[in-house]
Structure 1
Amino acid sequence: MSSRIVVLTGGVGGAKLVLGLMQVHTARDITAIVNTGDDFRHLGLAISPDIDTLLYTLSGKANAAQGWGREGETWSFMDALKSLGGEDWFLLGDGDMALHALRSHMLASGETLSAVTARFAAAWGLDLKILPMSDDSVATHVSTDEGDLPFQRYFVERRCVPAVRAIRFEGAEQARPAPGVVEAINDPETRAILIAPSNPWLSVDPILAVPGMREALQAASAPVVAVSPIVGGQAVKGPTAKLMGELGLAVTNMAIAAHYAGIIDGLLVDERDGGEGLDIPYAVTDTLMKTLDDRARVARAALDLAERIAG
């Protein structure tokens, strides 16, 4: 009987873990449930940044240096847009535009985000399941010292500079998990459910905000293991550490474990921090994922911890 793996993920860091999982486990038995709280309409186009980062990374098309966008991208569209006085704070490369334009067209024709994502994954030869957390619109908004900011305005335009006071997920209460999401979590053949080292507040909480998601994870027979985003008392990438400070939290694995309390059964932590003070099962490894071998090591360590918890 094949064993299945489910992973809840955001963008860059999560995509690295999923790529690692594909090195140590059969791709068709992996389901990635992806944050869509970052999704937004820009220039009339439907943009799904975390889904696209996953698609690009897993198909070998990602810009290796920056971790997002496409390798070998060209910028004729943006140059033309700027010449007309268009907004240029959110960069859309020429190859990237093809994906957004096609997605927008398919959604306007009545297809769901799940169906569109599955078609893109199949077109690029990806065997794993990539599922949006929901086919319904959920939008992350950040309350800051500069007022209320939609996520991309905070993250991209303002580069996370404003101090965060609170975060909310507009539309979450009315949203439903996308087809296959809860089924993957509840599948008796699922041996491990992983939470990627994506930002817990900005990338994972939107997934957990969809009604039924927390309950499914709490009821899951498979162990739920989170990979901590903390490395050496800091976040590897993005605003996690800054955000934790602004929310009055210590940048520690204890704070990460407390945030996921009631959901996770174990935490994979970096060797620079260790697991001191944790009151749940944990394992220690080098969680920095610079190379493909690193990604495979972290994926294997997370699965080994899940196996140990399952007994």
Structure 2
Amino acid sequence: MILALAGGVGGAKLAAGLSAVLPPEQLAIVVNTGDDFEHLGLRISPDIDTVTYTLAGIANRELGWGIAGESWAFMDQLAKLGGESWFRLGDRDLATHVERTRRLAAGESLTTITAALAGAHGIAHRIVPMADDPAPTIVHSDEGALAFQDYFVRRQCAPKLTGLALAPHVRPSTAFAALIDDPALEGVIVCPSNPYLSIDPILALDGVRERLKARGVPIIAVSPIIAGKAVKGPAAKIMAELGVPVSSAGIADHYRGWIDGLVIDESDRAAVDEIRDMRLLVTPTLMRDDADRHALAEAVIGWVQQWHLAGANPISAPKA
């Protein structure tokens, strides 16, 4: 069984690729909820919805979020009435948030609701929230502390990020904890999501980083940086503001001591000489279409399988 950690657009793309090449019983996708928030009286889970819509084949590929062919009558009317319209909720997307909020109020867990909504879209693979309890990410910036969506959407990541306050005392969801302890676990794949905003909140949960490492299975991350740029989102901007090299070597530094291998794009082959203490897989990582997603998923899964066939200690395995 492969455990994928994901958040946002890049994570959703690889998660979709993995779901296309692995049967449901061999893949579970744990999704960041650090950017969840309440808006207009509704519980919004942006990363969960992005992963769900992407696996369902209905995601808006142009925007990178929401549902393809969406209409915006609700938002247009809300703006006309003077309501808060900075966070866009499409008419079809709105149904997801209404139903999630209703079920939460009825006492259901976010895990149960996420599984039910995925099932309604015909998704057989497991999509699991990192936590059932709120675990908000707070952004520290040159303008002070900001709620995540205020920074990410309302301010379009314009303030300079100086640090993040995560939720280390929040427990992982029961389903996530069970996946960590599952005897069938063969490897952990860190999808090419923003390391700071999407993956770190998952790893910051109580005991998660240590428990995953203790399993002794290969932990492989896919770099979200290609040729010094982020494919989408503010990862490159954040790295620069924190004084981290905007490169695959910078990603390796961020995950060093926890991951066993890093997947980098062919355009970053020169990084092989910079990253000397972990195994590297050099392969195309830009996912422009379904074929790219499947190819990257197969490459990463194949790498995990090679590790097991070699019977090698992942941290000491030679570079590819």
Residues 215-263 of structure 1, C-alpha deviation per residue, up to 9 Å, x if partnerless?
1211123211000011011111111111001001111222211211222
| Alignment partner of 2:98 out of 94, 97, 101 | 101
Secondary structure in structure 2 of the residue aligned to 1:148: strand
Query: How many angstroms does 1:188 deviate by?
Result: 2.5
Partner of 2:298: 300
Q: Which runs of 4+ in 1 moved over 3 A?
A: none
Partner of 2:204: 209
Secondary structure in structure 2 of the residue aligned to 1:173: coil
Partner of 2:34: 37
Contact 1:90 1:157 (C-alpha < 8 Å) held by counterparts: yes
Does 2:146 correspond to 1:149? yes
Query: How many angstroms does 1:308 deviate by?
Result: 2.8
Residues 28-83 of structure 1, C-alpha deviation per residue, up to 9 Å, x if partnerless?
32100000000000011000000000111111111121121011111111111111
Query: How many angstroms does 1:209 deviate by?
Result: 0.8
Contact 2:228 2:246 (C-alpha < 8 Å) held by counterparts: yes
Partner of 1:57: 54
| Alignment partner of 1:243 out of 225, 228, 238 | 238
Gaps of 5+ in 1: none
Does 2:40 correspond to 1:19? no
Q: Normalising by the residue count of structure 1, what TM-score does the alignment of the two structures yield?
A: 0.96
Contact 2:172 2:205 (C-alpha < 8 Å) held by counterparts: yes
Gaps of 5+ in 2: 311-320
Give the letter for the 1:59 counterpart.
A
Q: Normalising by the residue count of structure 2, what TM-score does the alignment of the two structures yield?
A: 0.93
Contact 1:282 1:305 (C-alpha < 8 Å) held by counterparts: no
In the aligned structure 2, how far is the partner of 1:173 from the partner of 1:263?
17
Which deviates the most, 254-263 or 121-130?
A: 254-263
In the aligned structure 1, how far is the partner of 2:48 from the partner of 2:30?
9
**Percent of aligned positions that are identical:** 50
Contact 1:185 1:193 (C-alpha < 8 Å) held by counterparts: no
Which deviates the most, 39-48 or 190-199?
A: 190-199
In the aligned structure 1, how far is the partner of 2:262 from the partner of 2:306?
12
In the aligned structure 2, how far is the partner of 1:287 from the partner of 1:224?
17
Does 2:109 correspond to 1:112? yes
Contact 1:135 1:178 (C-alpha < 8 Å) held by counterparts: yes
User: For 1:73-84, what aligned pairs fall within 5 Å after superposition?
Assistant: 73-84=70-81
Contact 2:226 2:247 (C-alpha < 8 Å) held by counterparts: no
- The number of aligned residues is 306
Query: How many angstroms does 1:180 deviate by?
Result: 2.0
In the aligned structure 1, how far is the partner of 2:244 from the partner of 2:129?
29
